[in-house]
Structure formats: C-alpha cells, structure tokens
Amino acid sequence: MELTGKKQIMLTGNKAAAWGARLAGVDYVPAFPITPQTEIVETLSQWFADGHMHGKYTNMDSEHSMFMAAGAAAASGVRVFTASSSQGILYGLEALHTIAGWRVPLVLVNVSRALATPITLEPDHNDVLSLRDTGIIQLHAETAQEVFDYILMAYRIAEDPEVCLPVLVNLDGFYLSFTREPVVIPDEAEVREFLPLFKPSQPVFQASEPMARASAVFGGGNYSYFKIQHHLAAQNVVNIYRKITQEFSDRFGRFYDAVERYRLDDAEYVFVMSNSFATKGKAAVQHLRKNGIKAGLLKLSLLRPFPSQIIAEALAQRPKVAVIDQNLAPGMGGILYPEILKAVYRREDRPQHLLSVIGGLGGRDIRAGDFMNILQRLDEEPGDDPLFLFDEKDLKQFDQLRQIAGFSREARVQ
Amino acid sequence: MLRIRLHGRGGQGIKTASQILGTAAHLAGFQAQDFPLYGAERRGAPIVAYARFSKNIVLERGPVAQPDILLIGDETLLSDPMAAVTQGTDASTLIFINSRHTSQDLKKHYHLESLPVQLDISELCQKYIQKPMILSTALAAVGVRLMGHIDLHHLLQAIREELGQGRINPEKIAANLTLAEEVFQKAPSFDLEFSESDNGFSASRLVILERRPPVDSAPLIFATGNMAQRKTGNWRTHRPVVHNEQCNGCGICYARCPEGDIRMDANDKPVIDYDHCKGCLICVEECPKHAIEIIREVESWN
C-alpha cells in the first residue's frame, strides 16, 4: 500500500509496527511467524518483495536463530528489526540474553500472548515480562499510534552512543494487534530528520578488521564488570529517553513521558496499568469522575529501565492506588506490584493503600464492573492478599468447560 | 458512541466489511475503531467483527457485547445457537439480515424482539460482482446507511482504499462501487443517535478460589473423543449431497474424508454426518462416478 498523502490512516497495531520498521529504513529483518505477530512479518515480506523496502528479509528456522541473526547483523553495523510473541520469545530467550550482552542496537516487537499451559492465543504480559531481566529496554504501547512512534524512538534509544542495547516495543495481541484505529504516518523525509540512516557509533564487524564480541570471561570480577556496566547503561536510558521523547515531540507534536499521568493531579483513587487495557482504565476514570469520584490512572510505558523515581513522584500523595498486573508469578503474585512498592517505599508521602490486583490473564477482559470492585477494595483496610479479577460469570463458564472435559470429582478425587 | 457487530462466515468478507465501515466513518470525521475476532477460524466458520464510532476518542477495546447495530451477512447463522448471533441485543438493537424473507417473517421465525431490516444483498452481489456471498462491500454499505451520518462519497472512497490494498483489479473495484451505490439507495437510513451513556459500571461478584488438588486444578481432559460435541457443520457454505442411484459404493469418499464424517451403510452407500461435515468437498472431487452434488447453504428455511 502507498501512502495517500493523508495525515491519518486506519491501521492495526501490527500494521503500525510494520510501518515503523519500514520508515525506520531497516536493512535486515530476520523473521519467524507466530500468532498474533504474523501480520507484521507478512506485511514486511510483501514490502520487501514489492521494492518498498530495501535490504534483506529472511525467513529463519526458529526464533532462536532469528534473534541470533538479528544480533549478529546488528554487530555488523546494519539497522535490524524483528518481531515475535509468547512461546516464540521464550524459545529465543537464551539468544536474547546473549545479544543484549553483546551491546548491539536493534529493535524487536513483542505482540503479547499469554504463555502455555494451558495454551491460548489471547494476551497477558507474562511473555514480555519474562524478558525483564535480560537488560533489553522495554516500551509498552497502548495505541497503534504509540506502536509506530515508539519504534522510531526505540531506534534512537538503541543506537544512542551511550546505550547500544536492543529495545523492545510491546503491544497486546488482539486488543491492539488486530484492532484498527487512526494512525498518523509521517512521510519518510520527516522521519529521516528525526532518525537518520544508521551510522554505528561503535566498532562493527568489518573485513580486514578482526574483532570478537561474544567473549568468555573467567573470574567473577570480570563478569561483574560487564554486568554492572550493562545495568548502568540501561539505567541511564531514563535520561536518554527524556531527551529523545522531547525531540520527538518537537518534531511530531506527540509527547510521551516514561509514564502517562491521566487525570492524576487531584486523584484519590489511582489505577496503575500498562498496554492496551489502559484504554479501559481511562474510560473507568472518566465514568467515575462524572459521578463525582476523583479517580486517575498512571500508565506505565517505559518498563525497562524501571523509572522508579518518576513513578514515586507521580504516586506521591495519592492515597489509594491499585496496581493492575496482567500477569502472574505463581507463588509470588503480580510482577509489577513489588517493583512499584520498591519505587514508593522510601517516601513518606507514599500511598496509604497500595493494592495488588491481578486480572486480564489470558485475555480475560477487564470489564467496567471490575473497576468498581477495585474501588470497593481500596476503601477497605489494606491487606496482604491480591485481588483476583475472577467473578461468578467466569466460574460458571469454567464449570461448563469442566463438564465437557469429563471432570467428575467422585471418580477422580480420592 | 455507536457500536456495530457483524456476523458472517470465513471467506465472506466480514472483516473487510468492518474495515470499509471503519474507514468510511474515519473519512467522515469520526473517531473510529474496527476489529475482527479470529484465532483458529477458517473458511466457513462463523466470524464476528466489530466497529465503534464516536465523536470523541474511543475508550473501549475488544468485543462489542451490546451492539447498537447488528449486521447479519449470513442468515444460516441465526439458527445456530453456537454462533450466538443475537447475544446482547434487545428491542432497541437495529438488526439487519441479508435474506429473501420479509422482515415480518424473519421476526417471527427467529423470535426476534424487534422487526429487523431486511434486504437481499446476495442478489445484488450476484448482479454486480457475480459472487452472491462476497459481502464486504454490500454489508458495509448497509451499515453506513443504517447508522447514517456518512455520505455516499465517503463510503465509495473507503471501498476504493480497502479493496485497493488487496490487489483487486480496477474493473472489480468499479463493480463494487456500483454495487455500493445501489445498496446505499435501497437500504433505509436511520441516522442513529450517538449515545454517551456508560455501560456495565456495576461491580460483579468476585469469586475467591480455594486451592484444589492437582486433579481438580490442572487442565486435564478425561472425556476422550469429545470432539464430536464440537459441531462443525455450521462452517459449511456448501453441502455435498450423494445421489445413491449414481453411486457404485466404491468407498473412496469414505476413505478420503479428512474429518471421518462419512460412513458406509448396509447397502454400501455413503452417509454424510452433516453435524460435523465442514463442506471441504474433497468427497466431490474424489468421487469417480460424480455422484456427489454441491448445494449452496443459503438459508435456514424455505
């Protein structure tokens, strides 16, 4: 498809991701399909075939090879894009830790889909959060516009001479990946002013200039040096991000802070959310405000590095805060809750009630009524147990499923 | 906000219809969103798509539970409880059915709460694009007309843009535009009001799950062979019908059916299990005596 010269077009989250890669002028795309990501690589392969994109598109034999190829290409000094989801990300996990340690810049997209078992196609964030300790930078998108914009910003972050790390842009399967909404796609010249063609800022593999990257070190001290440096580089992205997002805003008129403060200023109740369901949270805030309840929402966009100080400041003096984790670490609880708790812990003006909510698992909708349940719980005494968004309707449906599966307690349980 | 839900089958252009609607509304200046629900579906399986339009930013995502407009492209879905076509509708829902029957007959036959809007768009599709069940353009045109607020030229531009992406040749696109114009003339317009009311903001009763033993808490399946309960006959757009007088009882159809939906009776004649036959028509291809006829599944009653 050609741009029609119009400012806004209707695009799915996946198509917006493909447009991001196309206008970033990527040189190399190693690809492997997986629902719900396939539309991204399918679109890119068509654009390479039609001559809209120049460079190399390669179908790989697995996600593990794909991420290795992506890292190796980035190490040779070309601009690289790749994408996956869920089990695919996990299959390539070993490679992702490895290439992050290589300190090479590239951008990858994850389309969130809950992990097996039981197997499903619908989203939650256990897949992307399993990458939280890789040292890969993470930006989480709520809208198709954010997907596109974050990809352009992601290349700037990844390729910044102070950073040199992979950057991941996350979007939810179905609720965003297959949902079309209006997206502003700038023309290539505008993009090129913000994101010039890639010139590596660090040594790359070249003929006649021998170099190695995947070094082995023995002695934990040597290992520690590189890991601590990796940490410091990732942490510094909070500062780099501020600079890049400001420049993006100056050029394109859309400003993305590391977090979005939605009607937070005088909020007494706050929902902390990320990704596409933040849209539902905003609708709940609007509804509550209409009914005289001062609600607000804190949307987490930059997840790695974790912008602790920005979050602590945003939540300061907000009395009742619910952290909605669309993920579950069995035996622990929500993954983001302890990170938020750590962020606010040292401040005296921290929230008095910081509630952990676990919902939206495996694409279970977070419904308007769920926000009312959260509100009620925030008015009760704080406790240790998380609030699970699982209601009578869910149980009824589950009981029906269990009937079909042939479950009979008498026959199976001694 | 105006919420539209579209029903049809894989291969009928239901997703494309939702996208034409979305683009037309977007061109007309509305905030728009469109979204198909799919995963493991395929040709013939019931398909649902959605569209939302608003004068303000759309702060909803995912399936539309209570549509203002219901567009039913394939009437046969109405008699299939699993397709749950009328779920979430009430007397205020504007329902459109692609059918040869009258509105009164449709209301009575399907026990609908209100009189549906009826138009035989398949006939018009046959006339202009020679494909009675490629409904993308016609169903979108009906949707645009029912909701109102969108001019014909925005609809036509949306069709050009959406079909233009799919490598469809210019003559076919021109035929679709003529089809859209005719549907636009024929379908009634309602100019629906955009409701700004919030739905569903009452707390449901949460359930606190107790720990159960693994046999009761792991995803185990004890009912073997329960696939038979999953009736896939509603995926069929075409029905294979055996003419026993031409059949020589060779059993090739029985051997080739990928679903195992054909059995041989006492007289060595094939019997097709229509509850599960998906209509792949491999039996028709394979029959050496050409004894299996193809009949299009068009409507649920005559």
3-state secondary structure of A142: coil
Q: Of residues B130 and B167, which shows the higher confidence score?
A: B130
- Pair A242, A310: CB distance under 8 Å: no
DSSP of A99-111, one letter per residue?
HHHHT--EEEEEE
In a domain, A12, yes or no: yes
Mean pLDDT (whole number) for A359-383: 96
Q: How many residues does chain A have?
A: 414
| A408 CB within 8 Å of a chain B CB | yes
Asked whether the beta carbons of residue A35 and residue B226 sit closer than 8 angstroms, the reply is no
Q: Which two tokens stand for residue B75?
A: 């009437």
Residues of chain B with CATH 3.40.920.10: 2-186
Handedness of CA B186, B187, B188, B189 (dihedral sign): negative
Residues 258-277 of A with CB under 8 A from B: 276-277
- Residues in chain A within 8 Å Cβ distance of B154: none
Contact between A406 and B35 using a beta-carbon 8 Å cutoff: no
Percent of chain B with pLDDT over 90: 75
Of the candidates B294, B292, B296, B295, which has an alpha carbon nearest to the alpha carbon of residue B245? Answer: B292
Q: In chain B, which residues fall in CATH 3.30.70.20?
A: 231-296
State the total domains in chain A: 2
Candidates B40, B202, B207; nearest CB to A372 = B202
Residue A37 lies in a domain: yes
Tokens of B51: 């569209």
Are A283 and B199 a contacting pair at CB < 8 A? no
Q: Same domain for A267 and A211? A: no
Residues A248 and A264 in one domain: no
Residues of A in contact with B32 (CB under 8 A): 10, 180-182
Indicate which of A177, A178, A378 best probes the interface with B, i.e. most B CBs within 10 Å of its own CB.
Answer: A178
Q: Chain B: nearest CA to A42, how far in angstroms?
A: 14
Nearest beta carbon to residue A391 from set B38, B205, B224: B205
Q: Is there a contact between B226 and A406 if contact means CB atoms under 8 Å apart?
A: yes
Tell me, yes or no, whether A316 lies in a domain.
Answer: yes
Nearest to A395 among B33, B199, B207 (CB): B207
pLDDT category at B193 given cuts 50, 70, 90 is confident
Query: What's the ipTM?
Result: 0.92
On whether both A228 and A118 belong to a single domain, the answer is yes
pLDDT at A1: 45
- Mean pLDDT, residues B6-12: 93
CATH of the domain at A124: 3.40.50.970
Whether A138 is covered by a domain: the verdict is yes
Cβ contacts of A360 on chain B, cutoff 8 Å: none
- Asked if residue B125 lies in contact with residue B134, where contact means CB atoms within 8 angstroms, the answer is yes
**Model confidence pLDDT, tens digit, residues B197-247:** 777 788 899 999 999 999 889 999 888 887 788 888 878 888 999 999 999
Asked if B44 contacts B279 with a C-beta cutoff of 8 angstroms, the reply is: yes
Using a CB-CB cut-off of 8 Å, the residues of chain B touching A413 are: 213, 215-216
Buried b (16+ CB within 10 A) or exposed e, A231-262: eebbeebbebbeebbeebeeeeeeebbbbbbb
For residue A2, name the pLDDT band (cuts at 50, 70, 90).
very low
Average pLDDT over residues A322-329: 98
Minimum-distance CB partner of B22 among A180, A283, A409: A180
Whether residue A405 is contained in a domain is answered as: no
Condensed to tens digits (0 to 9), the pLDDT of residues B121-162 reads 999 999 999 999 899 999 999 999 999 999 999 999 999 999
Taking the C-alpha atoms of residue A268 and residue A262, their distance in angstroms, rounded to an integer, is 13
pLDDT in tens, A84-122: 999 999 999 999 999 999 999 999 999 999 999 999 999
Q: Are residues A135 and A27 in the same domain?
A: yes
B204/A8 CB distance under 8 A? no
CB contact under 8 A, B34 and A10: yes
Report the residue of chain A nearest B203, measured CA to CA: A369
Q: Which of A197, A223, A252 is the last residue of a domain?
A: A252
Q: What is the average per-residue pLDDT within A223-233?
A: 97
Same domain for A223 and A362?
no
Q: How far is CA A356 from CA A11, A140, A383, in A?
A: 34, 20, 10
Query: What's the CATH code of the domain at A342?
Result: 3.40.50.920
Domain assignment of residue A311, given as a range? 259-398
pLDDT attached to residue B13: 95
My answer on whether A93 and A223 are in the same domain is yes
pLDDT of B239: 93
Whether residue A309 has pLDDT greater than 50: yes
Q: Which of A269, A314, A262, A260 shows the shortest CA–CA distance to A288?
A: A269
The domain boundary residue, chosen from A222, A252, A282? A252
Asked whether residue A409 is assigned to any structural domain, the reply reads no
A310 vs A202 pLDDT, higher one = A310
Check whether residue A272 and residue A174 sit in a common domain: no
Q: For chain B, report the end-to-end CA distance as a whole number of angstroms.
A: 38
Instruction: Give A395's contacts in chain B (Cβ within 8 Å).
Output: 207
Instruction: Identify from B59, B162, B221 which residue to disrupt to test chain A contact, counting A C-beta atoms within 10 A and taking the largest count.
Output: B59
Check CB contact of A223 with chain B, cutoff 8 Å: no
30-89 of A, contacting B, C-beta below 8 A: 35
Per-residue confidence (pLDDT) for residue A410, from 0 to 100: 54
Q: Are residues A228 and A181 in the same domain?
A: yes
Correct CATH for B2-186 of 3.40.190.10, 3.90.950.10, 3.40.920.10, 1.10.630.10: 3.40.920.10
Are A316 and A199 contained in the same domain?
Answer: no
Residue A380 lies in a domain: yes
Q: Which of B161, B204, B208 sits opposite A369 (nearest CB)?
A: B204
* Whether residue A50 has pLDDT greater than 60: yes
Whether the predicted pLDDT of B301 surpasses 70: no
Residues A238 and A269 in one domain: no
pLDDT tens digits for A161-202? 999 999 999 999 999 999 999 999 999 999 999 999 999 999
Q: Are residues A163 and A16 in the same domain?
A: yes
Q: Is the pLDDT of residue B255 over 70?
A: yes
| Chain-chain contact of A413 with B216 (C-beta, under 8 angstroms) | yes
Same domain? A195 vs A286: no
B40 confidence band (pLDDT: 50, 70, 90): low
pLDDT confidence band for B299 (50 / 70 / 90): low
Residue A357 has pLDDT above 80, yes or no: yes
What does pTM read for this prediction? 0.94
Fold designation for B231-296: Alpha-Beta Plaits (3.30.70)
Residue A369 forms contact with B (CB below 8 Å): yes
Report which residue type is found at A182.
P
The reply to whether A406 falls in a domain is: no
